[in-house]
Amino acid sequence: MKLFKKVMLVLLGVLLTLLTIFLVNTFRLGHTQIDPGERVAVEWDRDAMLYRYSQSITYKTISGDDGFARDTTEFVAFLDFIEESYPLVHYRLERILFNEYTPLYYWEGTDSSLDPILLMGHYDVVPIDSTDIDGWEYEPFSGAIADGYVWGRGTLDNKFNVMALLETAEYLLAKDYSPSRSIYLSFGHDEEIGGAEGAMAVSRYFQQQGVNLYYVLDEGGAIVSGAMPVDNPIAMIGTAEKGYLSLELVARTSGGHSSQPPHEMAVTMLSEALLKLYDNQFPARLDGATEDMFDSIGSKLPFLARMMYGNRWMTERFFKSQLVSDHATAPMVRTTVAPTMLRAGVKDNVLPNEARAVVNFRLLPGDSFETIRDHVQNVIDNDNIAIREYGTIQTVPSRVSSVNTSIYRKLQQAIMDQYRDVYVAPYLVSGATDSRHFSNLTDQIFRFAPMKMNADELAIIHGTNERVRVESFENAIDFYVNLIQASTE
């Protein structure tokens, strides 16, 4: 009996010790939030600003995949439109056109010893899904201003950045602002198809000129409500982006008549391969930009989530499994696998000789093309299925930009000054942006646009009824003015 009591006391002591460790780690978890400063209030004609933004949406600057014929007249018309709309930008800043349609503006600073900054956006847009044209509440290229939104293809992705930056530059030039640090403004015309003629050409130009960049700010994150279980919206700054690789799987057999199907058929082999890939996902990792994100808002999480994150020495597997279980958060912690294209057969009673599938992978930083191909080969384990790279867009994952720099703090402060009741957090961008082409010119690349969104609005990027809140665009110039002044004085 005495031995039993001793054992129970020991167990109780262990449990109390563990509980103490859990609680200490939970309440020790901090955050990196800062207080807002003075809000910048720009005196600018907001109605005219909004009208110009609305008009920019009416230009059908569409980029499509291979075989899509670009309507160059729309691109030229858009460039003429911004030249007429922002006369000071075109009169006082140097402009270079790359491959006819990507403009780069140079605003020379007074101190040539300082590395310049690059502010970016792109004005090409994705096509409209013709099968859902009736689902649009307003015509896709109308630029309609209604119900508190500006509607149309490109409002979110990414004429918002382009027009807001042009408005900001025009305003500062009208005020005779003279930056000490030089500023570049780059607006790509082919981001939606990889940026080879636009941003990549600009990057080569910088390299030829020996230009090193102080930092780059491109599209990527936004001020999102409901993205995380915290009280305030989160201004999500992309400090890294995932890589992009598509592989084509080709299953081959002898084919034949459908009345005598053999044991192995191209379609069934391919289907089995796709199911194997689905059932053997890449392992989850909690590091890099995603770890920085949770570190930045750790103490703002609900108690249970805070306790799990603060005690990852014991709970990390469960914590990651919770993230992986949600399709919205799974891309933060693992390389994703998505079959996107299938093709087989020519007639309903003929067994196809081959079946093809394209699988798209978004690579977590730390993975490589080689690790992806090895994983696919090992999982499929079928010599009758050929694996080869597909498409022209292939990008490795980016480096993770540090949040422990004065540049990140200036960006964080500019956000807090303007939006105040938000949290600021780094995060991993799942898509690809033009900013990746400048990774050899700076290790400080950030991806953020000052637009407010909720979870439902996130779903309409590239989708039906794409739109931006009027207040987001009206407030964007205040944010950019604040940031530019903080970065260039």
Q: Indicate which CATH number applies to the domain containing 135.
A: 3.40.630.10
| Domains identified in the chain, total number | 2
Percent with pLDDT over 90 in the chain: 73
Domain boundary among 389, 407, 441: 389
Q: Is the pLDDT of residue 384 over 80?
A: yes
pLDDT digits (tens, 9 = 90+) for 130-186: 888 889 999 999 999 999 999 999 999 999 999 999 999 999 999 999 999 999 999
**With 90 as the cut, is the pLDDT of residue 86 above it?**
yes
pLDDT value at 466 more than 90: yes
Are 324 and 406 in a shared domain? no
pLDDT tens by residue, 178-205:
999 999 999 999 999 999 999 999 999 9
Of 478, 479, 456, which Cα lies nearest the Cα of 467?
456
Residue matched to tokens 């779903």: 459
Same domain? 231 vs 300: no
The pLDDT assigned to 67 comes to: 62
- Of 245, 258, 218, 473, the C-alpha closest to 358 is 245
pLDDT at 7: 60
pLDDT score at 261 = 84
Q: Residue 329 burial (CB < 10 Å; 0-12/13-18/19+)? A: middle
Quick one: how many helices (H) and strands (E) in the chain?
Answer: 14, 17
Query: Mind giving me the DSSP string for 30-85?
Result: --------PPP-----HHHHHHHHHHHHTS--B--STT----HHHHHHHHHHHHHH
User: Does 253 share its domain with 203?
Assistant: no
Is 69's pLDDT higher than 70?
Answer: yes
Give the list of residues 6+ apart from residue 74 with CB closer than 8 angstroms, or none: 59, 60, 61, 62
What does the pLDDT read at residue 303?
Answer: 85
pLDDT at residue 198, rounded to an integer: 97
7 lies in some domain: no
Same domain, 260 and 198: no
Instruction: For residues 78 and 188, give the distance between their C-alpha atoms in angstroms, rounded to a whole number.
Output: 12
Cα 217 from chain centroid (whole Å):
12
Domain boundary among 389, 412, 436: 389
Domain-embedded: residue 208: yes
Say if residue 384 is in the same domain as residue 402. Answer: no
What three-state secondary structure class fits 129? Answer: coil
pLDDT at 32 over 90: no
Spatial separation of the C-alpha atoms in residues 347 and 355, rounded to whole Å: 13
Q: What residue numbers bound the domain in which 418 lies?
A: 46-240+398-488
Q: Is residue 31 part of a domain?
A: no
Is 231 catalytic? The answer is no
Q: Of residues 445 and 306, which shows the higher confidence score?
A: 445
Task: Choose one of 389, 411, 429: the last residue of a domain.
Answer: 389
The residue from 157, 191, 241, 478 that is catalytic is 191
Asked if residue 362 lies in contact with residue 243, where contact means CB atoms within 8 angstroms, the answer is yes
- Residue 55 included in any domain: yes
Tokens of 370: 């080689």
Q: What is the pLDDT of residue 25?
A: 64
- Residue-level pLDDT at 11: 66
Same domain membership, residue 210 and residue 78: yes
> Mean pLDDT across the chain, nearest whole number?
92
Rg (CA), the chain: 26
Both 175 and 51 in one domain: the answer is yes
CB count within 10 Å of CB 185 equals: 22
Active-site option among 124, 192, 417, 434: 124
Is 251 found in the same domain as 224?
no
Cβ–Cβ < 8 Å for 344, 270: yes
Using the predicted structure, report yes or no on whether residue 24 has a pLDDT greater than 80. Answer: no
Tell me: do 421 and 474 sit in the same domain.
Answer: yes
Catalytic annotation on 124? yes
Same domain for 118 and 155 = yes
Does any domain span residue 228?
A: yes
Residues 233 and 259 in one domain: no
**pLDDT digit string (tens) for 221-233?**
999 998 888 989 9
Categorize the per-residue pLDDT at 465 as very low, low, confident or very high, splitting at 50, 70 and 90.
very high
pLDDT band, residue 30 (cuts 50/70/90) = confident
Convert the pLDDT of each residue in 258-293 to its tens digit.
788 888 889 999 999 999 999 999 999 999 999 999
In a domain, residue 6? The reply is no
Average the pLDDT over each of 88-92, 120-124, 243-247, 258-262 and give the range with the smallest value.
Answer: 258-262
Given a contact cutoff of 8 angstroms between Cβ atoms, the answer to whether 316 and 290 are in contact is no
* 350 has pLDDT over 90: no
Say yes or no: 406 and 352 in one domain.
no
